[in-house]
Structure 1
Amino acid sequence: MNKQHARSKMKMIILTVLAIFVIAILMAGLLFRQAFPAAPRFKDLPVSGDSTVSTDSGLIRGAHQDGVYRYLGVPYAHANKRFMDAEPIKPWKGVFTANAYGPTSPQGSMLGMSAATDTKGTSNDCQNLNVWTPKVSKQNDLPVMVWLHGGGFSTGSANERSYDGANLSRSHNVVVVSVNHRLNVFGHLDLSSYGEEYRDSGNVGLTDIIMALQWIKANIGAFGGDPNNVTLFGQSGGGAKALALMTSPQAKGLFNKAIVESGATETMGVSFATQEQSQSLTKHLLDQLGIDTNHIGDLQNVSVDKLQEASTQALQETANEYHIPAPLGGGYQMEWGPVVDGDVLPSNPVTDDAFAEAGKNVTLLIGSNLNEWTGMSAPTTVPDGTDRQALAAALQEAYPDKRGLKASHVDTLIRLPMLKIMSHKADQHGASVYSYVFTHSSGVAGSYHGSEIPYVFDNVSGKLADHISQAWVSFAKTGRPSADGLPQWKPYTRENGATMILDDHSKLVHHHDRELMRLLSPNYSY
């Protein structure tokens, strides 16, 4: 086989994998919509006179509907220029009407696929948040749960229907906040070599969230929330954002607990891009756009489509240069994300001997789903030479209630990084770590990536939703996850391996899948 033919064949394989991945995402969304009633999408809700609250920025009026006050599209900062830190909100006169979702970040490419071309409703100036609260009171005693959306650091928004916080807020007496912030090239293009104004450019997607947390600290009391009891929670990329914020000294003291749902791979959550990789990515992007280093300001005027197209090419070139392994399939792939710059992020979340120092006193609830992508597009590869009898025994020991479960459908892509994170966090001997695996089957795809979300938000009825939403809120209130009918949830350590299996019949297990993970990934160390 000649080299040109080999390259062509490899390209076809990669494109096939990506196509399957796209289909899997669509399938997951379809399954979600079929299985769970969608939360309503609000636009221009009728405002309520008794909803007016006073903040540092000015008066805000929202809507009061079905026992919940909603404040949508509340600005917490402004980013008037690309790639620079956002600026604090200037107080407004009169009353800000917060009854419709605000703009979101332009959407970027993932896994080499083209970015969305529809930029309607998007803006670099997308620093706004949504609040759901059961009461408006100066008695600010309610726990605050801040949702960070998924989509890696490239796509998604806080305005998605499945993230509506009304049921969680109303049913469990908690303030729910979701945050929009910059993503992809707008949030993580490292231009720090080209001027002091770009010092944080590789991490402005994170500094946006930090500014949102500062706004919450200063103002959430007006919505009935306790500014000293703030919990981050997020799924997939949202979980990775929580890990990055646990690593940042700039976010220290703005929250004291974090929940990470399926929120890490080896290169997105365990670690992040080095400054060398990031600056190489910037060079490739500038080359794609034909912009020399003396005209960096020209980036302010490049169209969103051209920026995203150049980004897709630059990400692939950088991945090839540094041999960054693709998360799914073979070959190399780089995704947008935070930069370990020594300032916003002084280190990776997982350090050689423990966890990032800034997160030592942050209590962590962390876990993943049994199948993630394996039931649809990315089955786990069983290593050649594996003792099949031993594998069958390990599978039975790990998940005795899952009849017909195949080893190839047990996720390792996310489960192993989760184990590494929780083990290193436990090694730190700081705040406690609690571990879970969500195993409830949601249709043909099993417990797929994101299938726990409607249970967390209490957007589906049933015992499991009661257990999970109550446990998440209990963790937010007290730092200990618990729910009526759940076994006592003990903290995870390397020695006990304590993990809650979340299913119709939940149970606490110890090192339940240690042998299974060893057989499926014999060279992985955590």
Structure 2
Amino acid sequence: MRIDKIENENPVGRVEVPPGPGRSLMRRLGALTIVASLVAAWVHTASAHPPTKHGEPEVIEIDSGALIGTTVRDAVAYLGIPYAAPPVGNLRWRPPQPPVRWKGSLHADHFGHTCAQNTDYGVFSSASMNEDCLNLNVYTPPGASTRRSRLPVMFFVHGGGNKVGEGDDYDGSEMAVKGNVIVVTINYRLGALGYLAHPALDGTNAPFGNYGFMDQLFALQWVQHNIHKFNGDPGNVTIFGQSSGGGTVLADLIAPAARGLFHKAIIQSGAFQGFKQIQIPKAAAEAKGVGFANAVGCADQTAECLRSVPVSEILAKQGSFLLSGGGLVFDPKSMLPRTFQDAFASGDFAHVPLINGSNGDDARWNVALPEEMGAPPLTSDGYPAAVTGFWGPALQPLVLEQYPSGNYPSPSIALATAETDYLYACVAHKLNNTLSTAMPVYAYEFNDKTTPAYMPTVSFHFRAYHTAELQYIFPHYHGGTGSTNPLNFAQHRLSDEMIELWTKFASARGNEPWPDHMWAKYDPTRQRMESFQSEGSTSIDGRSFAQRHRCDIWDSLALY
């Protein structure tokens, strides 16, 4: 990204988008079918007009200035668009502010800076010291600006525990082209810079904590004000997110400030945000903030001191002071005035169509991470301590009884199975049962055991691990490694199916995006779910899902 008349041809921290081949346009809904004529037509088109990053750019005028786009594969993209002023200096730990209007044209052909973060999650994270990172990317199908009707908008929030991640990793070009939608991906403040709560940062009209969450809502407001310039429909916005990004989508459902900014929602392995213990009250959050201030040399506990601390010092000291579960603060005067339990019980939440699901082996990603970072594989002798470290001494006997390591191929798989059931599957199942009485819910489990793994090889197979479905929703996703894993024929087919379902859901104007036999609405009585697998997706019974994941045990603890 550069602005005419300003020398900034190769700004630090910007990455050029690589060209890449398109995918076939096979579609799959219900029974898997391949229409040879469509494939042949696509091959002819691809040969005549090979996808390229270089093409005649389109110019769009938005509120803050003119944009010149670029071509990414078959899509037109506008990359690194500032949606807020840089949150630096006196704007650090303040709500986001509008960007300054630029002169000339912004060449939106490079990604913006990644938000400051450590490499806490190995290859999944990218070290960055940059606070000037509040930018977003817009992917449109070719000729979007000339369409007679406005296009649905899909607004994606990346995961990473609200500590790491970047919108740039999620190439929305194929989703935009195949689904005829506009895809928006964003950056938002992370770690302590995004979620510190401290008494000195409170004040009139200055909400405390949740700054990264405020960024996301500000980006949604940007969509409302500007997406029509790309021929997007501000009245048809679907928010979707994975992991902590999915947890943010869940928070959007109950946040009063988010009302009217979106119209449908998709939560991918993010329902864990509903655990009571990670809905942090203000007093506890600010106590952590006081400890953090002491650690970075601000014993006087002033906002001026905190805003003068170097980014490197913040990243070095934030680890032990980050709030569990990503750092969302709940308080009657905050962005999140009610807990999820209170909001859902009272009916005070956004009643919008929802897709919600988890992955069959979600926690294999979590358990693999220590090995990826150099730790040895978990042993039988170390298993009890690992269980205590995750659940605490009070629940250790229950977990050891229900998930004895000797019943599994390895202690690592025993731990991953227990964590998957507890942290992802059962809380998602409970959410389906809770919300389906008030609004349309479509439930799923991603269960493709053959998914390629982008992480280094560890002592066990990853199977349908946390983030695995992202390679199917965003076919060029690489998990931060920079190298995309190729999908085989059956996996390509599943990718086409999931992209079509996600985008048809976004495109639908009513509560029925498809016939019931294709993917039935979930209700607490029938409990129909979709199981996504490359050998053939199928409908499953939510009660058998709950039994397989031992949800009766986890539900009985009333932890979510």
TM-score range, shorter chain: 0.7 to 0.9
**For 2:466, which of 449, 456, 468 is the aligned residue?**
449
Conservation of the 8 A alpha-carbon contact between 2:293 and 2:299:
yes
Shift of 1:137: 1.3
Alignment match of 1:348 (pick from 334, 339, 347): 339
Q: How far apart in 2 are the matches of 1:151 and 1:376? A: 12
For residue 156 of structure 1, the aligned residue among 146, 149, 165 is 165
TM-score (norm 2): 0.72
Post-superposition shift, 1:350? 3.5
CA distance 1:481–1:499, change in 2 (3 Å): farther
SS state of the match for residue 358, structure 1? coil
Change (3 A) 1:350 1:275: same
With normalisation by structure 1, the TM-score equals: 0.76
Shift of 1:491: 1.6
Q: 2:356 aligns with which of 366, 387, 405?
A: 366
Shift of 1:93: 2.3
Task: Kindly provide the amino acid, as one letter, of the partner of residue 95 in structure 2.
Answer: D
1:472 to 502, 505, 516: 502
Shift of 1:259: 0.7
| Alpha carbons 2:239, 2:266 under 8 Å: kept | yes
Aligned partner of 1:142 among 151, 154, 161: 151
* 1:240 corresponds to which of 247, 254, 265: 247
1:474-512 deviations in Å (ceiling 9; x for gaps): 11111668679x952122222222211111221222222
Contact kept? 1:229, 1:476, Cα under 8 Å: yes
Question: SS at 1:88's partner residue?
Answer: coil
Aligned to 1:327: none
Where 1:298 maps in the other structure, the secondary structure is helix
Distance in 2 separating the partners of 1:370 and 1:217: 36
Contact preservation (8 Å) 1:368, 1:418: yes
Between 343-352 and 64-73, the greater mean CA deviation after superposition: 343-352
Structure-2 separation of matches of 1:313 and 1:141:
47
Q: d(CA) in 1 for partners of 2:414 and 2:301?
A: 57
RMSD: 3.4
Aligned residue in 1 for 2:391 = none
1:105-120 superposed matches below 5 A? 105-108=115-118, 118-119=127-128
TM-aligned CA distance change 1:383 to 1:350, over 3 Å: same
1:496 aligns with 2:505: no
Residue deviations 1:433-468 (CA, integer Å, cap 9, x gap): 110001111253110111111111244562211111
1:63–1:70 CA contact under 8 A, matched in 2: yes
* Structure-1 separation of matches of 2:299 and 2:205: 16
Match of 1:92 in 2: 102
1:340-372 deviation digits (Å, cap 9, x = unpaired): 13231111233375376232x222101000011
Matched, 1:357 2:387: no
Which of 169, 193, 200 is the equivalent residue of 2:176? 169
Give secondary structure in 2 for the equivalent of 1:434. strand
3-state secondary structure, aligned to 2:227: helix
Range 263-272 or range 87-96, more displaced:
263-272
Q: Distance in 2 between matches of 1:265 and 1:223?
A: 35
Q: Would you say how many aligned residue pairs link Structure 1 and Structure 2?
A: 446
**Hey, what's the Cα distance between the residues in 2 that align with 1:488 and 1:119?**
44
Q: 2:547 aligns with which of 495, 511, 515?
A: 515
Contact 1:470–1:482 at 8 Å: present in 2 too? no
Q: Equivalent residues in 2 for 1:286-325 (5 A)? A: 286-293=293-300, 295-315=302-322
Specify the alignment match of 1:331 in structure 2: none
Inter-partner Cα distance in structure 2 for 1:286 and 1:375? 33
% identical aligned pairs: 28
Between the aligned partners of 2:95 and 2:271, the Cα distance in structure 1 is: 26
CA–CA separation in structure 2 for the residues paired with 1:296 and 1:58: 33
Between the aligned partners of 1:137 and 1:177, the Cα distance in structure 2 is 16
**Conservation of the 8 A alpha-carbon contact between 2:119 and 2:126:** no
**Is 1:262 aligned with 2:269?**
yes
Alignment of 1:405-484 (within 5 A): 409=417, 411-412=420-421, 413-427=423-437, 429=438, 431-441=439-449, 442=451, 444-459=461-476, 460=487, 462-478=492-508
Consecutive unaligned residues of structure 1, counting only runs of 5 or more, are: 1-38, 320-333, 396-404
Give per-residue Cα distances to partners, 1:311-338, cap 9 Å, x unaligned: 22334xxx8xxxxxxxxxxxxxx35421
Which of 533, 536, 539 is the matching residue for 1:505?
536
Letter in 2 for 1:252: R
Shift of 1:149: 0.6
Question: How far is the alpha carbon of 1:264 from its aligned partner?
Answer: 3.2
Alpha-carbon separation, structure 2, partners of 1:127 and 1:408: 35
> What's the offset of the Cα at 1:376?
7.4
- Quick one: distance in 2 between partners of 1:107 and 1:198? 28
- Tell me how far apart the structure 1 counterparts of residues 69 and 403 of structure 2 sit (CA, whole Å): 61
Please show how residues 371-386 of structure 1 align to structure 2 within 5 Å: 371-374=361-364, 377=367, 383=399
Q: How does 1:51-62 map to 2 (within 5 A)?
A: 51-62=58-69
Note closer, same or farther for the CA distance 1:66–1:159 as it changes in structure 2 (3 Å cut): closer
The alpha-carbon deviation at position 383 of structure 1 amounts to 4.4
Shift of 1:513: 2.0
Report the CA distance between 1:91 and its aligned residue. Answer: 2.3
- Contact preservation (8 Å) 2:144, 2:230: yes
SS at match of 2:78: strand
Give the corresponding residue for 2:41. none
User: C-alpha separation between the residues in 1 aligned to 2:163 and 2:223?
Assistant: 24
Q: Deviations over 1:150-198 (max 9, x none)?
A: 10111101011xx101111111211111011111111111135544268
* Residue aligned with 2:167, SS: coil
1:182 aligned to 189, 192, 214, which one? 189
Partner of 2:78: 71
Secondary structure at the aligned position of 1:423 is classed as: helix
* Pairs within 5 Å for 1:200-239: 200-239=207-246
Q: Which amino acid aligns with 1:368?
A: S
The answer to whether structure 1 residue 131 and structure 2 residue 138 are counterparts is yes
| Preserved CA contact (<8 Å) 1:136 1:223 | yes
